[in-house]
Amino acid sequence: MSEDSYFCNPNKTYQTKDMKLAVVGATGLVGSEILEVLDEHNFPYDELLLVASERSVGKQIEFKGKTFTVIGLEEAVAAKPQIAIFSAGGGTSLEWAPKFAAVGTTVVDNSSAWRMDPTKKLVVPEINAKELSAGDKIIANPNCSTIQMVLALEPLRQRYGIKRIVVSTYQSVTGTGKAAVDQMMAERAGEEPEMVYPYKIDMNVLPHIDVFQPNGYTKEEMKMINETKKIFGDDSIAVTATTVRIPTIGGHSESVNVEFKEDFDMDEVRKLLSETPGVVVQDDPANLLYPMPITAHKRDEVFVGRLRRDESQPNTLNMWIVADNLRKGAATNAVQIAEYLVAEGLF
């Protein structure tokens, strides 16, 4: 089996026995996306448990021609699934992931609860899945903006080494959740919305994602800084971020300026990126080809374009990176981690 065959491979056949899979937070935006990705990837399971908070228990969900009844967390723990994919918020993860782990379940968690815990692995499968072992019972899924950036940077880091990263993000309202989408669409329709953001979001830009920290950065910006270093395993990389919310629903976009330790060749950069699993190069300005959220929507890949040398200083590259934040930024990455666990028997 090739190393790349764990990822984005709906035609793969897995050898499993009595696989019981739980999706925690199955009624939310990311939970719904996880179900779609499981279907598209032909993920192997014998029994699927759809789990949510008490207010959603008993709700019926149609999936793959079957009707599933949503169960609560206590019932799900008692069922002892081999793998549980969590997308139910940090508080739920902090309380319940250890309870699942205690009965032998391997948890893949989408929240920020465990990402910077030094005892937990922070995984983008194409980069560091090999670090996982059967003893890792709680595995953290990185922040959506971090995932797409580090996946695009990894082949270049391996070749040239990275000294400094400056990133500005343009993030979809779907990153906040359904209520934020509802606010934007209500504003667009001229209705009075229930406010999720402190200001109007339609026809506006908010340089404010998550809460502000004492250093003037937001929590989202600090996530990108700290998670990038952890995933790369290199605290020497200087990272600074500005994260911005924009009125789109297709995915997150990023302007990345990366300074390498060594000089680079533009043709080699494009070649390295085009050969990276999960990365699609769209870089043809003459024909107006570049990544956009509208074309990344519902796609698993990370799209990279606007590749150009920074002429203001040496060894520095400008990149434009786009991905569907509910896919590779959340659901797809989590499912890929689970695929790796199954393929390697690490559960």
- DSSP assignment of 142-206 equals PPHHHHHHHHHHHHHHHHH-EEEEEEEEEB-GGGT-HHHHHHHHHHHTT--PPPSSSS--TT--B
- Per-residue pLDDT tens digits of the chain, which is 347 residues long: 234 444 544 455 555 668 999 999 999 889 999 999 999 999 999 999 999 988 999 999 999 999 999 999 999 999 999 999 999 989 999 999 999 999 999 999 999 999 999 999 999 999 999 999 999 999 999 999 999 999 999 999 999 999 999 999 999 999 999 999 999 999 999 999 999 999 999 999 999 999 999 999 999 999 999 999 999 999 999 999 999 999 999 999 999 999 999 999 999 999 999 999 999 999 999 999 999 999 999 999 999 999 999 999 999 999 999 999 999 999 999 999 999 999 999 88
Annotation says 144 is catalytic: yes
User: Residue for token digits 């990389």?
Assistant: 237
Token code pair at residue 246: 């924009």
Q: What is the pLDDT of residue 327?
A: 96
Q: What is the pLDDT of residue 18?
A: 82
Residue spans in the chain of domains classed CATH 3.40.50.720: 3-142+330-344
Q: Considering the entire predicted model, what is its pTM?
A: 0.93
Q: What is the pLDDT of residue 5?
A: 41
Annotation says 8 is catalytic: no
Per annotation, catalytic residue among 8, 41, 252, 297: 252
Residue spans in the chain of domains classed CATH 3.30.360.10: 145-325
Cβ density class 182-210: b for 16+ within 10 Å, e for less: ebbeebeeeeebeebbeeebeeeebeebb
Q: Residue 123 corresponds to which amino acid?
A: V
CATH architecture classification, 145-325: 2-Layer Sandwich (3.30)
Token code pair at residue 156: 């270049």
Q: What is the pLDDT of residue 347?
A: 82
Per annotation, catalytic residue among 8, 41, 144, 297: 144
Q: What is the CATH number assigned to the segment(s) 3-142+330-344?
A: 3.40.50.720
